[in-house]
Amino acid sequence: MSNPVRVGIAGLGTVGAGVLRLLVANAEVISARAGRAVVVTAVSARDRTRDRGAALDGVRWHDDPVALAADPEVDVVVELIGGADGPARALVEAALSARRPVVTANKAMLAVHGASLAAAAEEAGVALAFEAAVAGGIPVIKTLREGLAANRITRIAGILNGTCNYILSRMRAEGRDFAEILADAQRLGYAEADPSFDIDGIDAAHKLAILAALAFGRPVAFGAVHVEGIRGVSAQDIRFAGELGYRIKLLGLAHATAAGVSARVHPALVAEDAPLARVEGVYNAVVAEGDFVGRVMLEGRGAGAGPTASAVVADLIDIARGRATPVWGAAGAALSDAPSVPIADHMGCYYLRLMVVDRPGVIADVTAVLRDHGVSLESMLQRGRAPGETVAVVLVTHETREAAMAAALERIAALDAVLEAPTMLRIEPA
């Protein structure tokens, strides 16, 4: 068997420790599949005393993670620090400059700096691998970049954040409001003390930017992703959605159209019998649609030490075997320059919930505004009457343009009988 692949790991948190344990526990299987042993020879982490569940005897420690890039006993650098900038980016840039392959799980860095890092990897002639950056142990990167390489991908739809999916699943199952379930999720460790990165949709948007770049063969464009989170989803909306035959999910959606590429993250209603509607709890799922393959769906755990470490080591095995694919599936010169389509141009159906004073003429006023903006209604839902009091009215529209919907909502919100800002959710085929 050939000389071992010598690995330097920066960051020994949950995922880094998981990689150490996996390389030891499955050493025989990994060596057989890689064609040679994969061994950790150097690490960088803040705390040298912490027990990672695997022996680090004889492994060199670097206080500065960037030093791994210059370590003569390191063949491949694994970056598991996290963060779009700072030491993580500095290490990856240094490693590529030194012509060392890099494996990373850093979705934020790839979403924000992926174009320049891909160019650096291409110039150096080395791999920049990131299976672990999206959907944990689900092999979605390899599926898009290699398994579906012969297809023109037309659509990506995914549940890309386990924290949000867990919260929405429990809200539906228990009929409780967002704030209560979030507090429980934090107590159980499914949500961070500061959960904004997850619940405001940023984490999912990073992942969608990466998937859209791979699917449509163009440079990553995180700034073009429209992002909304789940703070505004209420138990009332989930209940009404259920009455209408839908479930509410935070989705990442990307489409290739004649006008360009649309990429958006937001809560949406999906039919309760749709595959994505049935993905519950902390699970992730991605649906890809190709012109020859049709629809493909992948589902599994999107985070955690084991699934994410599995993806990291899969990349190490590819590098050991000499298997390499351009970062975004094609050489930089062959990437598309398709423009980004703004959310205002989106065409779809909408769910509207209005809190209004229950009095004659209110619905007529609302429907007149919608008519003026070319929005037609498919159905209306109201439960109970309370003359002179506040009631909820739910409207479902036929397909219309987002810009028209936004203009109509601005006028509806100004009606004196409408007592709260309207809730608008998009209805998506999934």
CA distance 139 to 356: 47
Is residue 241 exposed (0-12), middle (13-18) or buried (19+ Cβ within 10 Å)? buried
Q: Exactly one of 107, 142, 207, 249 is catalytic; name it.
A: 207
One DSSP character per residue, 35-47 reads SS-EEEEEEE-S-
CB 144 within 8 A of CB 318: no
Which residue intervals of 268-395 are DSSP H helices? Answer: 305-321, 362-372
Picking from 47, 60, 52, 63, the residue whose alpha carbon sits closest to that of residue 24 is 52
DSSP letter at 291 equals T
Q: What is the dihedral of CA 61, 67, 73, 78, to 10 degrees?
A: 80
CA distance 423 to 354: 7
Provide, for the chain, the percentages of residues in helix, strand and coil under a 3-state DSSP scheme, each rounded to the nearest 5: 40, 25, 35
Provide the pairing of β-strand 390-397 with 377-382: antiparallel
Tokens of 16: 């880094």
207 catalytically annotated: yes
CA distance 65 to 95: 11
CA distance 426 to 406: 12
Instruction: Tell me the one-letter amino acid at 172.
Output: R
Beta bridge partners of 59: none
**Rounded (10°) angle between helices 235-243 and 162-174:** 70
Beta bridge partners of 153: 290
Radius of gyration of the chain (CA): 24
CA distance 267 to 246: 12
CA distance 292 to 152: 8
CA distance 371 to 208: 35
Catalytically annotated residues: 207
